[in-house]
A = this chain, B = another copy of it.
Amino acid sequence: MADTRFFDNAGPLSLVRVAEIVGGKASGGAADAQVSDVAALDTAGPGQLSYCESAKFKAALERTRASVVLVAEVLAASVPQDAVAVVCAHPALGFAKVATALYPNAGLIWPHSKPPVHAIAPSARVGEGSVLAPGVFVGEGVEIGDDCVVGPGSVIGRGVRIGHKAMIGPHVSISHALIGDRCTIHAGTRIGQDGFGFVGGAWGHFKIPQLGRVIIQDDVEIGANTAIDRGALGDTVIGEGTKIDNLVQIGHNTRVGRRAIIVSQVGISGSCEIGDHAVLGGQVGVADHLKIGAGAFVAAKAGVTGSLDGGQVYGGFPAKPVGQWRREMGALALLVKNRRKKDERDGS
């Protein structure tokens, strides 16, 4: 279930209500099944709803332990016998709609459950020696450790936990996040806003509720005006001792290992895994669902379009071993040079 420090679960929903929300028809399984949560096919369990839109995931569908599955008609026969199959035209859209019904506050841009009368919620706990500058907002249930500094105007959303000796600059916003000890977060950085996930179709782009969190381990430093989105179903994680520069984008569900270095203006898409001690140079871009091995060094401005083994140096766009990229650039220059020579010989 989504972390209740951040999300309010409005379930359970009856099968009738689910069928109504998704515009579908239920069959099989327990007629009195109730849906109290959503999950992916492979992690779902009793009381949870999942979905399968493509035959590509048929194997996972056949093995799922979800109580209710939204499926396209052609896949209905693959839903396990114990589960309720809800056949509908757009299972992914239906999933997003049920998730929205279960977590009605997941889309709130600023996670206060009530109009905030207090800038510092009475239920927040702030440790000894910690300084909150003027103009700081702290939501319900926040826990801030000892000897922290929070700069002017920063906003700490409901339920956030921050360890000891954290330094948080001015104008930072943090929500849906657990932050370790001795972290430094510079001015204007955004942590925990919901990720860029939509179900597109004739209806436009329907927002997929982002029900995960951001986990920032100890001794992480994050530069100014950086953005780290929270996970969709799982978490976005920044490993211990990793250092992130200014204006970096880290997408939902991406996991960065320990002691990595991520230089300014890097963009990492969603659901990537960046290994321990990896270095991403300035303006590097990493496409979604890729894995970059431990200790890989990706030179500045590279565009990573496939997974990369650890321990090597990469460069270029598309990114490849840096020696190969240099040879290619050299070959291209030579090609032009030789053509010019030939043109000169030919008198053209």
Instruction: Show the binding face of A for B, using Cβ within 8 Å.
Output: 107-110, 112, 115-116, 119, 131, 133-135, 137, 149, 151-153, 155, 167-171, 173, 184-188, 190, 193, 196, 198, 200, 204-205, 207, 219, 221, 223-227, 229, 241, 243, 245-247, 249, 251, 259, 261, 263-265, 267, 269, 282-283, 285, 287, 300-301, 303, 305, 316-318, 324, 327-329, 331-333, 335-336, 339
Which of B190, B200, B318 meets A186, CB within 8 Å? B190
| A246 & B223 in contact (Cβ 8 Å cutoff) | no
| A328 & B332 in contact (Cβ 8 Å cutoff) | yes
Q: Which residues of B contact A135 (CB under 8 A)?
A: 119, 135, 137, 153
Given contacts A224-B227, A264-B267, A331-B332, 14 further A-B contacts (CB under 8 A): A109-B169, A116-B152, A137-B152, A151-B173, A170-B173, A171-B188, A186-B190, A193-B223, A193-B224, A200-B259, A204-B241, A251-B264, A328-B333, A331-B339
Residue of B nearest to A118 (CB): B134
| A110 & B243 in contact (Cβ 8 Å cutoff) | no
A264 to B286, CA, bound (A): 11
| A285 & B285 in contact (Cβ 8 Å cutoff) | no
A109 to B170, CA, bound (A): 8
A165 to B134, CA, bound (A): 27
| B282 & A285 in contact (Cβ 8 Å cutoff) | yes
Q: Chain A at the B interface: mostly helix, strand, loop or mixed?
A: loop
The quantity of this chain's copies bound in the complex is: 3
Given contacts A137-B135, A187-B190, A331-B339, contact A107 B225 (CB under 8 A): no
| A173 & B171 in contact (Cβ 8 Å cutoff) | yes
| A168 & B247 in contact (Cβ 8 Å cutoff) | no
| B196 & A186 in contact (Cβ 8 Å cutoff) | no
Q: Which residues of B contact A229 (CB under 8 A)?
A: 246
A173 to B168, CA, bound (A): 13
A317 to B169, CA, bound (A): 35
| A171 & B155 in contact (Cβ 8 Å cutoff) | yes
Q: Which residues of B contact A317 (CB under 8 A)?
A: 301, 316-317
A181 to B327, CA, bound (A): 49
Q: Would you mind naming 11 contact pairs between A and B with Cβ atoms under 8 Å apart?
A: A109-B151, A109-B167, A109-B169, A169-B173, A170-B173, A173-B187, A187-B190, A196-B245, A205-B241, A227-B264, A332-B335
Given contacts A187-B190, A205-B243, A331-B335, contact A153 B133 (CB under 8 A): no
Q: Chain B's nearest CB lies how many Å from the CB of A139?
A: 10
Name which of A188, A241, A245 has the most chain B CB atoms within 10 A of its CB: A188
| B324 & A328 in contact (Cβ 8 Å cutoff) | no
Name which of A116, A152, A247, A261 has the most chain B CB atoms within 10 A of its CB: A152
| A327 & B336 in contact (Cβ 8 Å cutoff) | yes
Q: Chain B's nearest CB lies how many Å from the CB of A93?
A: 15
| A249 & B249 in contact (Cβ 8 Å cutoff) | no
Q: Which residues of B contact A187 (CB under 8 A)?
A: 109, 155, 173, 190, 193
Complex A-B, nearest 4 residue pairs according to Cβ-Cβ distance, in ascending order: A109-B167, A190-B224, A110-B151, A227-B246
